[in-house]
Amino acid sequence: MNDTAGEGEVGNGEAANGEAGNDKAGNGEARKRRARGSLSRTEILRAADSLLSEGGPRALTMPALARELGAGVASIYWYFRNKEQLLIALADEATEEMYRRLPPPGAGPWQEELGRYFTALRHAYRTLAERLELLRARPGAQGTAATPEHGSAADGRAEAYLLLLTGAGMPSADAWRVYRACWTYTRGFALIELGRSRQSGDGGRRDGDELRAAVARLDPAGHPLLTGLPDVARLMSTDDEHFARGLRLLLDGAAKRLPVRRRHRSAP
């Protein structure tokens, strides 16, 4: 890609406005340009991540990134044609780093190993959920709520746990369904936690109170099971205990997909 082609890729006036403002610093004094060819993809991503962390998505513009790097906007276009491509790269980097930190399968029973893995994934999502959702909230972003993320680390982890399941006697198609079901449950649980934290900051207590009040208005004759629950608000909690219980139900159900001769041998 040449500099001229790159400058034309950015919308919203970033290219035109960026180059005009990059010849001078904010105080009006001429800014020294860095040497041509001294910029790297890794350095651009690191600077973009810093801007995103400090000021959110609005702070991450191509002109602002160029100022942060001490380079011209056109130099960035050699690596990223526009802000959309830059955000995709940031999301991919964050996802890969997250999966690299997750544990590979150990020597324990498969239910125990999957439980450990998806518990670690939930904690990783809780740590990175806001950033990942911000980066993925764009058309064309990969890793939606229905499809596990892709990349060398993510695919490597998925392959390893599929091998664990098939090694226990599960057909490969069922192994994938189990992995995807556990992934969807884990991601959904983490996103609910994030949503509750954003809305009220009380860990979901307000949601629980509203649900308790809604159930109290139900007619017990028409809804005997709902009104008979011991504490429906407590059952809606997103704490560690409820995550573990839900995951265990999924894994226990998965165990029933194994041939009878394998079930008890693989159970923890």
Q: Is residue 85 pLDDT above 80, yes or no?
A: yes
Domains detected in the chain: 3-81 (1.10.10), 92-203+238-266 (1.10.357)
**In this structure, how many other beta carbons lie within 10 angstroms of the beta carbon of residue 40?**
10
Which pLDDT score is estimated for 245?
93
Q: Identify any residues that bridge with 30 across adjacent strands, giving them in sequence order.
A: 24
Largest CA distance in the chain: 78
Distance of alpha carbon 219 from alpha carbon 236, whole angstroms: 20
Q: How far is CA 192 from CA 117, 120, 204, in A?
A: 19, 17, 9
Which pLDDT score is estimated for 227?
82
Q: Is residue 1 pLDDT above 70, yes or no?
A: no
The amino acid present at 221, given as its one-letter code, is A
Which pLDDT score is estimated for 93?
85
Question: Alpha carbon 143 to chain centroid distance?
Answer: 7
Q: How confident is the model at residue 140 (pLDDT cuts 50, 70, 90)?
A: very low
pLDDT in tens, 16-52: 344 334 444 444 444 556 666 679 999 999 999 888 8
**In this structure, how many other beta carbons lie within 10 angstroms of the beta carbon of residue 109?**
16
pLDDT in tens, 210-253: 777 888 888 989 989 888 888 776 666 778 888 999 999 999 99
Distance of alpha carbon 65 from alpha carbon 62, whole angstroms: 5
Distance of alpha carbon 215 from alpha carbon 192, whole angstroms: 20
Of 88-97, 189-198, 200-209, 230-239, highest mean pLDDT: 88-97
